[in-house]
Amino acid sequence: MYDVVIIGCGVSGASCAYMLSKFDLKVAVLERSSDVASGTTKANSAIIHAGFDPKPGTQMAQLNVRGVELAKEICEKLDVPISNCGSMVLAFDEADMEHVQKLYEQGVANEVPGIEVVDAAKAKEMEPELADEVVGALWAPSACIINPWEYCLAMAETAVRNGVDLFLGTEVSGITKTEGGHFVVDCGSRSFESQYVLSACGVDCDKTRSLLEEPDYEIVPTRGQYFLLDKEEGRRVTRTIFQCPNEKGKGVLVSPTVDGNLIVGPDAIIGDREDKSTDKEGLDAIKEAAMKSVPKVNFRKNIRNFAGIRANSKSGDFIIEESKAFPGFIDMAGIKSPGLTAAPAIAEYVISMLADDGLPLIIKEEYVDERTRPRLPVAGHIGGGGKIYTKEEADRIRNEKIAADSSYGRIICRCETVTEGEIKEALHGPIPPVSINAVKRRVGAGLGRCQGGFCMPKVQELIVRELGIDWLDICLEEPGSETLSYRTKTEAGKED
Ligand SMILES: Cc1cc2nc3c(=O)[nH]c(=O)nc-3n(C[C@H](O)[C@H](O)[C@H](O)COP(=O)(O)OP(=O)(O)OC[C@H]3O[C@@H](n4cnc5c(N)ncnc54)[C@H](O)[C@@H]3O)c2cc1C
């Protein structure tokens, strides 16, 4: 019997698990994928939005701005890379300037710190690569860039370390409420009993809600696709550059990533919630839009395209509500952008709902609110909490690690300089990665220019050696994406 069962371990579910793990409660997280952060949390723009976009007075506005404060605190405590680079919204004509002014006023009403409207000269001084056509901009210094999956992972790992039970590969297929007043959450071969159920199911929130009752909202899955460019393009701009938002969303951005690449996108295509494909037509339109802001972006340096699915709803706000018919079931639905930013604030709000309902929140004596990432610092790169290491500091830390264990001196991923020691540490972490991409999410092996072409077999070898998983069972991501089909040699070296 759990006090709280959380369904879904994207950034919303992980934030709830992290914040609940400080209390003396029995908490379980049920996630259908083989790793955390496998839904929309791993495929978005990775911006901690300042908070001038949401309409003043909405829950989204309040949770966005609070989310920025929390993200900075959490990244510091849990060693997650973050950069306080700020963001700009560009205006290209008078109509855009009016829009920028409106965003400024919304920002002031939402209590976004430090925002200002700047003229073209100031905008170009801040970002020399901006197009000559820019006539002004909104400057929001509190916006950040972050590694979204590591943010989610760090919170989930800390929750697990503090006693939360995480069940991966566990899909919820039924929810009932007993006469005794508690919930039974069915996951095929096993079920979980709990006093409260929190649903944090991303684009599938409506499907999960319908296991209990018909939702009174509709989810409109909206795909957004991206270019990820090589680090050679990573300093084309130093801040996140938006255009004026339109009815489809925040528009195409050009932004550095916290790993030093350049990200360009997204578009907004209403469609299938499963369809994470990319298409030439959409990508060409993104390219054209991005070059309106930053004409010299060199798209020949593209290393990857990907897409994420927004859990858009017709409501202009997040839908965070307790079921009236089934009290104790709390739905986090329509967690569209700025959901990554707002997630820990959403968790705070949900926990206040549990407290109001009488759930005793007693802080555990042995609670540990810290974590160390397995990644070694690289000179000049953004590290945990936003720290940038000098060559001397990075070398000292690396040399100390190598002295203790020589595997920290063996490079596995050449593009990102990831060592065997770092991968080994991740494989034995609080949430062991069992797929190639899960290793990538923890240490960045395969994230660079060659996209795993060089290191993938070595990563597989380490998964086999450290976790005892069979070669043929190793997946790129989920079961069904096995990379090897059969053995070509027996152990004695003969054809099999
Ligand atoms: C193109 C795009 C750009 C974006 N850019 C930004 C941005 O820059 N900044 C920002 O703040 N926000 C951004 N967002 C929004 C942000 O990414 C999302 O709001 C956030 O990631 C949602 O997290 P989540 O945990 O609610 O959902 P998800 O990350 O989708 O997690 C839901 C989890 O629930 C699991 N699940 C679902 N059903 C079940 C079930 N029945 N049983 C068990 N598990 C289940 C899924 O497997 C998944 O892991 C963007 C979104 C998109 C698509």
Give the per-residue pLDDT at 153. Answer: 98
Tell me if 228 sits within 8 A of 305, measured CB to CB. yes
Whether 146 lines ligand 1, by a CB cut-off of 6 Å, is: no
Closest ligand 1 atom number to CA of residue 13: 25
Lowest mean pLDDT among 242-256, 325-339, 378-392, 430-444: 242-256
**How confident is the model over 92-134, as pLDDT tens digits?**
999 999 999 999 999 999 999 999 999 999 999 999 999 999 9
Lowest mean pLDDT among 58-62, 75-79, 411-415: 411-415
Give the per-residue pLDDT at 245. Answer: 83
Q: Is the pLDDT of residue 322 over 70?
A: yes
Q: State whether residue 159 is helix, strand or coil.
A: helix
Give the per-residue pLDDT at 43. Answer: 96
Mean pLDDT on 191-203: 98
Contacts of 108 (CB under 8 A, 6+ apart): 115
Whether 223 lines ligand 1, by a CB cut-off of 6 Å, is: no
Q: Is the pLDDT of residue 495 over 60?
A: no
Q: State whether residue 240 is helix, strand or coil.
A: strand
pTM across the whole model: 0.96
Closest C-alpha to ligand 1, atom 35: 8
Give the per-residue pLDDT at 489. Answer: 78
Mean pLDDT on 335-345: 97
Q: Is the pLDDT of residue 353 over 80?
A: yes
Average pLDDT, the chain: 96
Q: What angle do CA 337, 3, 154 make, to 5 degrees?
A: 45
Give the per-residue pLDDT at 488. Answer: 87
Task: Based on the residue annotation, tell me whether 49 is a catalytic residue of this protein.
Answer: yes
Single-letter amino acid, residue 312: N
Whether 442 lines ligand 1, by a CB cut-off of 6 Å, is: no
Q: Which of 49, 99, 182, 381 is catalytic?
A: 49
Mean pLDDT on 270-296: 96
Share of the chain above pLDDT 70, in %: 98
Residue 493 phi, psi (nearest 5): 95, 10
Q: Which domains does the chain have, with CATH numbers?
A: 1-80+146-216+316-371 (3.50.50.60), 81-145+219-313 (3.30.9.10), 391-473 (1.10.10)
